[in-house]
Amino acid sequence: MDGFDPGVIAALREDLPEDALRHILRTFEADLARLLGELVAAAQAGRRDAYLHAAHALAGAAGAVGLTGLEAEARIAMDPAQPEGPAAVIPRLLARGRAGLAVLTREIG
């Protein structure tokens, strides 16, 4: 997948047992759903601070598991100076989130 750094999972695999990796996957899956939901809700309600906060948290979560494409999209969303609004960014975040979760599921199992 474009936007995935397999070295992050490889490094985690060196340091952690498989059950811990599966726990990371489950935690990321829950965080992804929650944060994308918060992002969408904040955008719909016009709550800019909440939108930026959710985007920031999503960028951190994605980076921690090597989803560089999702992290980059979230960083675009969290940049108040960027020209694209939520209507343009959110569909890309949703697509990157789904694709990233599929990659992590394949990599971790």
Output the domain CATH number for residue 13.
Answer: 1.20.120.160
**The residue type at 106:** R
- Residue 79 is given by DSSP the state -
Q: Is residue 29 part of a domain?
A: yes
What is the number of alpha carbons within 13 Å of residue 2 lying toward its C-beta?
A: 4
61-70, pLDDT tens digit by residue? 999 999 999 9
Q: Could you tell me the residue range of the domain that residue 29 belongs to?
A: 6-108
Token duo for residue 9: 């999972």
- Tell me how far apart the alpha carbons of residues 43 and 41 are, in angstroms, rounded to a whole number: 5
> Using only C-alpha atoms, what is the Rg of the chain?
14
pTM of the model: 0.94
Q: What confidence tier does 1 reach under pLDDT thresholds 50, 70, 90? A: low
| Number of domains, the chain | 1
Q: Is residue 62 part of a domain?
A: yes
Output the average pLDDT for the chain.
95
Q: Is residue 1 part of a domain?
A: no
44-90, pLDDT tens digit by residue? 999 999 999 999 999 999 999 999 999 999 999 999 898 999 999 99
